[in-house]
Amino acid sequence: MTFSVHHASFAYRQTPVLKDICFFVEPGQILAVLGPSGVGKTTLLKCMMGLIKWDSGSSQIDGIPIPQIHYREFWKKIAYVPQAKNTVFSYSVEEMVVMGRSAHIGSFKQPSASDHELARQAMDEVGISHLKHRPCSEISGGELQMVLIARALSAQPSILVLDEPESNLDFKNQLVILDTIESLACEKNISCVFNTHYPAHALKIATHALVLTRDKYSLFGPAREVINEDNMRRAFEVNVHINEVKINQKRYTSVLALSVED
């Protein structure tokens, strides 16, 4: 399944937010959406999924514009993972994950044994089965983020869209989230789109990148071509240095913010 956006623009109260956005993502690819706060990254995710209507342009699945796809069929193909926030709901982890099956469950019907089994498989895949009886209101932010990913996976989507999945997490949980996204793409051939403030995170796992800037410029292409010092300076308005190091026969890329651009 190919997901694509074609020359799409969006304005909020006549103020341009996104202009002439173009990109595509193929099965097993990971697209990182990069840019500073307030540039429209979350808005882009919502527009691309049809939660907010583009002012011009279109989002398509295999060449078919999203408005022409029945909403239930669409949400069987795509799953959205919002930013994890503390919840006041007392749903258990397992109950929350089963909710991801809603697009496959008819109106006024209860989840089947098969739905519960798929939810348990999703929890196993992201390593949270030990939390299944815990209330979501009593787990950490990192654990809740994994619950939301498991909820999305229970729908068995072809594409996974994640809104800043690693933000506000400690180093360990950031790595757990990034490794989970990478393994889903590599092992299950799921396309993944995630937005982030961190160029190094994008370079760690993304195959492609879409860079957004405050002057409404956007650039899409292979991650290691698009994420360079000049483009990061333009997007984030800071001078950066990108460096590769080799540790234990494996290469790692760091992105150092040196100074605010004059």
Neighbours of 41 (CB within 10 A): 21
Range of the domain at 201: 3-260
pLDDT at 199: 95
Higher-confidence residue: 203 or 111?
203
pLDDT tens sequence across 117-167: 999 999 998 889 999 999 988 888 888 889 999 999 998 999 999 999 988
Provide the β-strand partners of residue 58: 6
Start-to-end CA distance of the chain, whole Å, equals 44
Q: Which amino acid is at 224?
A: R
CATH code where residue 8 lies: 3.40.50.300
Structure tokens at 5: 């956006």
Which of the listed ranges 74-88, 111-125, 196-210 does the model predict with the highest average pLDDT? 196-210
Compute the average pLDDT of residues 73-89: 81
Q: Return the pLDDT at 69.
A: 94
| Backbone phi and psi for residue 61, each to the nearest 5 degrees, phi listed first | -115, 115
pLDDT band at 40 (very low <50, low <70, confident <90, very high): very high
**What is the predicted pLDDT for the residue at 170?**
87
pLDDT of residue 107: 62
Residue whose C-alpha is closest to residue 28's, from 159, 211, 180: 159
Place 59 in a pLDDT band, splitting at 50, 70 and 90.
very high
Q: Which of 47-51, 79-83, 209-213, 258-262 has the lowest mean pLDDT?
A: 258-262
Neighbours of 92 (CB within 10 A): 16
In this predicted structure, what is the pLDDT of residue 89?
66
Give the Cα-Cα-Cα angle 204, 205, 208 (nearest 5 degrees): 110
- Average pLDDT of the segment spanning 204-208: 97
Q: Residue 26: which residues within 8 A CB-CB, separation 6 or more?
A: 2, 191
To which H or E segment does residue 151 belong?
A: helix 141-153
Rounded mean pLDDT, 207-231: 95
pTM summary value:
0.91
Report the distance separating Cα 87 and Cα 151, nearest Å: 15
pLDDT at 87 over 90: no
Beta strand ranges found along the chain (DSSP E): 3-12, 15-25, 30-34, 56-61, 64-65, 78-81, 159-163, 191-196, 208-212, 218-222, 238-247, 250-260
Q: Specify the pLDDT at position 88.
A: 52
- Range with the lowest mean pLDDT among 79-83, 158-162, 231-235? 79-83
Number of domains in the chain: 1
pLDDT confidence of residue 225: 96
pLDDT value for 250: 85
The beta strand positions in 109-185, using DSSP E, are 159-163
Running DSSP on this structure, what letter comes out for residue 106? P
Average pLDDT rounded to a whole number, residues 161-176: 89
